[in-house]
Amino acid sequence: MARAARDLGHEYIALTDHSPRLTIANGLSRERLLQQLDIIAALNEDMAPFRILSGIEVDILEDGGLDQDDEILARLDVVVDFAGRFGQTLYLRDAASGVDVLQFRVTQDLVDNSSVPSALRALPVIGEPTRTRSFSFDKTDGHWTINGLRFDPNRVDALPVLGTTEKWVFQNPTGAPHTVHLHGIDQQCVTRNGGACFPYETMKETWLLDPGETIEVKLKFTDFTGRYVFHCHMTEHEDDGMMSQFEVVPPTVTPTPTRTPTPTPTPTSPPPGSGASFHTVPPCRIADTRSANGPLGGPALETSRPADARGE
Ligand SMILES: [Cu+2]
């Protein structure tokens, strides 16, 4: 096929295949793809300057990672060169149907001097945890729950203090995977199942928990006080109630001496064994960007909270 393309006057062709996860199409395993890349490299040497570009379908996994590793991806770059096309509008066309599927407007004439550094910047230091809380992403009475409870907009399950670092332990005793997503907080993986975290999950905001897994994450509450949600990112699970709230509270202010000092409130202790504290608070307003009526079908809600503190 490559020789036919070259004989027809083409300068290159592109070869791609299905993701290994697409088993119905017998997608290429890592081993088969590496073997294919070696064959392509030999053909390219043989047929230069004609070139076979190599590609693969890549699936995004539940935790945001990709189903091909970095070594493979580094061998699969396809570069589209728009040099000399300034001012033009170009299309990627589906050859089978003749339909244009993607438009490129070349609006700038630039020289690209960029390069990817050999080492990326170090992780930010977010401190050592001063307390630990545990959350079990469970199934209770036929519903998806966190620590046995379904979502209640009037309940806050943790009150971390602004500026502190905590360790949160997430467990999955169910037979289904969960993707634990926390809003608006710096997060780093500490351990996965008592051992090392995956190399790509050092700092992120959604954590994959396969059945039976436990992950320890440390969180620093840096930016805002106020209420945040955390939940399983599987739509069926979060909509069924696998969602909770924490509220970042200001640090206790040292009272200024006065004639009638105000007593310092006593902090609420967590229930023994759970590592989490549960508090009943007045009804709150929440914003659900997926539905103008909110997740509970109530009236349309408005919010004046900072964008970073709202849901995604
Ligand atoms: Cu889930």
The span from the CA of 192 to the CA of 123, in Å, is 18
What pLDDT does residue 303 have?
A: 40
Spacing, Cα 139 to ligand 1 middle (Å): 9
What are the angstrom distances between the C-alpha of 210 and each of 16, 59, 170? Answer: 30, 18, 11
> Is 137 buried (19+), middle (13-18) or exposed (0-12) by CB count in 10 A?
buried
Please tell me the distance from the alpha carbon of residue 1 to that of residue 98, in angstroms, as a whole number: 22
pTM, full prediction: 0.49
pLDDT tens for each residue of 135-186? 999 999 999 999 999 999 999 999 999 999 999 999 999 999 999 999 888 8
CA of residue 116 to ligand 1 center, whole Å: 36
* Terminal Cα-to-Cα distance of the chain (whole angstroms): 47
262 Cα–ligand 1 center, Å = 45
Classified as helix, coil or strand, 129 is coil
Successive 10-residue mean pLDDT values, the chain, 312 residues: 85 80 73 87 89 80 75 68 82 80 80 73 91 97 96 95 96 96 91 93 91 97 90 93 95 65 53 45 43 43 41 40
Which residues touch 90 (CB under 8 Å, ≥6 apart)? 82, 103, 104, 106
Between the CA of 293 and the centroid of ligand 1 the distance, in Å, is 23
d(CA 186, CA 166): 11
Q: Which pLDDT score is estimated for 105?
A: 85
Helix (H, G, I), strand (E, B) or coil at 217: strand
Q: How far is the CA of 233 from the centre of ligand 1 (A)?
A: 6
Q: Give me ligand 1 centre to Cα 296, in Å.
A: 19
- The H or E element that residue 102 is part of is strand 100-105
